[in-house]
Structure 1
């Protein structure tokens, strides 16, 4: 008996030793954070020292892309698939849980699940991969890809624990009367507004008063989530974990408990611009809190922190005489049309230049809509202050995590692991090109920097060479017809035979 107990003891020690060597993984997924809002990317008004430090201490991918909108971006991240396939990601309307309570919750979920259907056992998801490799998995925040999901789907996707919104419409407010935790409704005391305190645009005196009427707004959701994020790290300090933190920040409409001291007396900004800047600042503070917690728990050196965003910049601080919606050229008074009249911050009046000088915003297949930050820190593994020109898609994160965790089952992905790039090694495999869909039409970016952009309504194909023209101002389609033809053929194959199937069709659900 003593021998058996001794061998059991050794076995437990061996398992614990193996687990201790597995790196923890934290994915911080910012919502609508334009790449130009970060200090190290040239932001002049908002300082982001904690995110900047991630870049200083880790690796920054300079050619990282994601989808033009949050729903497909989150789906691509979780599944490792791009959004140009004929078989689209299954979605539902985003208003399913507006009137949810304990008595009707089961009926709501059953109705949603009928539309979502069963998950194919052969499908893989980031959470499921980590879970099968012995990780404790958690998702805290906005939750899944939209527009409403279910407890069953969350479990099928591999989340041991989750807390947050199960629908994206309610997630546009920051004072929810209730959230969901592992299938249960959790009431948030002091929050009483059914639409979660969602404010309105554009900025007016009436909307300002509405936004700062704090009756029924006691608990700010991002603060609530951060408490749970830090608690999860504490509770799992002794076993490997994957924590996915899809934040609401800085997605609008604008809402913040108080204006950050950096902006209170900043005469460059309107009141609502000060509030938006404070949302970006809070996101940066949250990153700092997470890094501090890792230090306090002794987990910093064995934790990979991935910071990225779901899509390009969006403006939630419009006001007459500043940036106006519909987005308008302040010189010509013409509305931008995403084609002949492309959006640029210098022409719109965006004081922040949130897309970093690129053309376009969220919902566009221009660079301002799909070029995103991607920063990864892994102490003693990733060379500090390094950058990579590797062409990277958000659907590369799943195969990278699969390799990191030792997952060796066969699975289908459009992504390519960039694990070797993390270690400073020359890539063994890279994309020839990446593809994304959009409301405008699908787009393709090659490893050499060529970009084929479609505009289906105009029946147009545009060709850009991004290393010389990241603002997409010079269409080279007529100058390089052979290259244009070759890239069109590649895009047609990626969209599985029909450009119409490459057109993202979720707009009516927003």
Structure 2
């Protein structure tokens, strides 16, 4: 952490030296939550506090990460926003900020069938125009290493572990302790359909799919 802090400081000092610090957007984030690899001890740092889970798990502690943006001439210091975004939103955001009207067409790989972008620019949120911000219908994750999948729709969060679905209401249960799947079968069904839609089978990344309602129809 000390080394990281030092390196970030070097970047910020160089921007200041070049006279670019006031009108350069700087984003600080991470690619996952805490992990146990290489001798790391998340327990020592109290990792199981507000959020549950580790890297390559679909609980919030594994996928919800810090996201800090600094842009003094455009963003008010200390402002906070609850917009839900993912890393694939970065590309369209940068394209909008530099007025690249070729996105997404010029970035599509024409040789790759079905190539597309799921990202939505969050430039309106950054610039204080939240009323113009597009929002994701859902966010989706899967990790074959832990055999977990997840879907988030607003405050509803479905975590599928080894094919078994568990539903949580993050507005009341941010630590994901109380599975309420049995009380909300319609919501579970809707979120399972997202998994059916988004999952792409791959022998290199095997994962246990949940049972879909349509697979069970007509069976006694």
Confirm whether residue 444 of structure 1 aligns to residue 144 of structure 2. Answer: no
- SS of residue matched to 2:61: helix
Following superposition, the deviation at residue 309 of structure 1 comes to 0.8
Following superposition, the deviation at residue 355 of structure 1 comes to 5.7
Deviations 1:17-64 (A, max 9, x none): xxxxxxxxxxxxxxxxxxxxxxxxxxxxxxxxxxxxxxxxxxxxxxxx
Confirm whether residue 295 of structure 1 aligns to residue 26 of structure 2. Answer: no
How far apart in 1 are the matches of 2:178 and 2:94?
38
How far apart in 2 are the matches of 1:386 and 1:504?
42
- Please, what TM-score do these two structures have when normalized by structure 2? 0.80
- Please, what TM-score do these two structures have when normalized by structure 1? 0.36
Instruction: Note the 1:50-449 alignment, pairs <5 A.
Output: 280-316=1-37, 318=39, 350-354=43-47, 356-409=49-102, 410-411=104-105, 412-426=116-130, 427-439=132-144, 440-446=147-153, 448-449=154-155
Following superposition, the deviation at residue 293 of structure 1 comes to 1.4
Contact (CA 8 Å) 2:122, 2:133: kept in 1 or not? no
Contact (CA 8 Å) 1:416, 1:431: kept in 2 or not? yes
How far apart in 2 are the matches of 1:504 and 1:416?
29
Contact (CA 8 Å) 2:58, 2:150: kept in 1 or not? yes
Structure 1: 4+ residue segments shifted above 4 A: 316-319
- SS of residue matched to 1:302: coil
Following superposition, the deviation at residue 295 of structure 1 comes to 1.1
Give the number of equivalent residue pairs. Answer: 193
How far apart in 1 are the matches of 2:179 and 2:124?
35
Following superposition, the deviation at residue 312 of structure 1 comes to 1.3
Contact (CA 8 Å) 2:141, 2:150: kept in 1 or not? yes
Contact (CA 8 Å) 1:442, 1:503: kept in 2 or not? no
Deviations 1:407-447 (A, max 9, x none): 1124331011000100111143111211111122321111x
Deviations 1:446-486 (A, max 9, x none): 1x21111111x3x2001111121111100010011111111
Contact (CA 8 Å) 1:441, 1:504: kept in 2 or not? no
Change (3 A) 1:503 1:399: farther
Higher relative contact order (CA 8 A, sep 6+): 1
